[in-house]
Amino acid sequence: MQKLYFLGGGNMCQAIVSGLVKQASFDITVIDNNADKRAHLEQAYGVHTGTVVPDLQADDVLLLAVKPQDMAAATAHVKSNGALILSIAAGLDIATLSAMLNNPRIIRIMPNTPAQIGMGVAGVFAPASLQAADKHIAEQIMSAVGQVYWLAEENRLHAITGISGSGPAYVFYLMDALAQAAQAQGFDAATARELSLATFKGAVALAEQSGLPFAQLQKNVTSKGGTTFAAITAFEAAHIAADIQAGVDACVARSEEMQSQLAKANHDG
Ligand SMILES: NC(=O)C1=CN([C@@H]2O[C@H](COP(=O)(O)OP(=O)(O)OC[C@H]3O[C@@H](n4cnc5c(N)ncnc54)[C@H](OP(=O)(O)O)[C@@H]3O)[C@@H](O)[C@H]2O)C=CC1
Ligand SMILES: O=C(O)[C@@H]1CCC=N1
């Protein structure tokens, strides 16, 4: 069985591992410096764990899942020996990773946390020089936990980060805002959470099942001069849609900025 190592056993590693172990197609080892995390990973998913990446072989796979700013230190002693490298780190480009690992065989992935329940979205980019078999491995790993979108250019990873990579946080922010509004209307915290959750859940399922444009679905709730009209008029006066666009733009800009900073730090250091 092909050996797959995760470097970093945190949130995203656990999300991917939880879906992947059901496939039983890789011999998985997670490298993490935290003993509690290693014990949890062994117990919950039956994977091997360790504290150091062993010297790799060409047919092994290493998935990099530490924070971008920890990557240089975490990979300093890794001997990748031409193994396939998959990186989920935001803002670390292939040129920088390739210099860190002395290995150009790298695929970048931008996943998101709903991977934990098999409903993730992942943007994936592979340089043209990589073999179809390498792309197949990335596809196999990420399709175990959700949908996979192949990107034609590495730079598109910034955009996918702004939409689906960070996107779950925007949705939770809106869910929390609706729950807070419910509390302001006198519901207790538990009921407010349930009302917000059930409203999001029902709206998402309706959008999916009807296939209608989101704007049409919104119109179907909005009687002219009625209650929803009052709410949407208030949202428009507050430029909520433009603010969401500004949030996405800030996310994309930060991804680009991190990439320049990390590339420079690695080049200088
Ligand atoms: N969370 C998200 O929604 C998404 C995250 N990503 C990317 O995924 C990557 C991981 O993020 P996430 O899982 O949230 O981060 P976490 O902090 O949850 O996980 C990283 C793990 O790596 C461990 N670690 C740090 N340094 C080392 C080392 N030298 N050797 C072994 N283990 C080490 C950390 O331990 P300790 O805590 O002790 O430092 C931690 O357990 C990041 O690069 C991020 O950009 C991409 C898309 C979405
Ligand atoms: O916030 C971050 O930097 C990471 C990348 C995408 C989601 N979380």
Ligand 2 atom closest to residue 113's alpha carbon, by position in its atom list: 7
pTM value is: 0.95
Residue spans of the domains in the chain: they are 2-152, 167-238
Pocket of ligand 1 contains residue 104 by CB under 6 Å? no
Ligand 1 atom closest to residue 12's alpha carbon, by position in its atom list: 13
Residue with tokens 């803002």: 91
User: How many Å apart are CA 116 and CA 19, to the nearest integer?
Assistant: 7
CATH classification code of 167-238: 1.10.3730.10
Domains 2-152 and 167-238 share a fold: no
Positive or negative torsion for Cα 167, 169, 172, 174: negative
Pocket of ligand 2 contains residue 161 by CB under 6 Å? yes
pLDDT recorded at residue 199: 98
Pocket of ligand 2 contains residue 113 by CB under 6 Å? no
> What CATH class does 2-152 carry?
alpha beta
User: How many Å apart are CA 197 and CA 194, to the nearest integer?
Assistant: 5
Pocket of ligand 2 contains residue 111 by CB under 6 Å? no
pLDDT tens for the chain, 269 residues long, are 999 999 999 999 999 999 899 887 899 999 999 999 999 999 999 999 999 999 999 999 999 999 999 999 999 999 999 999 999 999 999 999 999 999 999 999 999 999 999 999 999 999 999 999 999 999 999 999 999 999 999 999 999 999 999 999 999 999 999 999 999 999 999 999 999 999 999 999 999 999 999 999 999 999 999 999 999 999 999 999 999 999 999 999 999 999 999 999 988 87
Ligand 1 atom closest to residue 51's alpha carbon, by position in its atom list: 31
pLDDT recorded at residue 98: 96
Pocket of ligand 2 contains residue 160 by CB under 6 Å? no
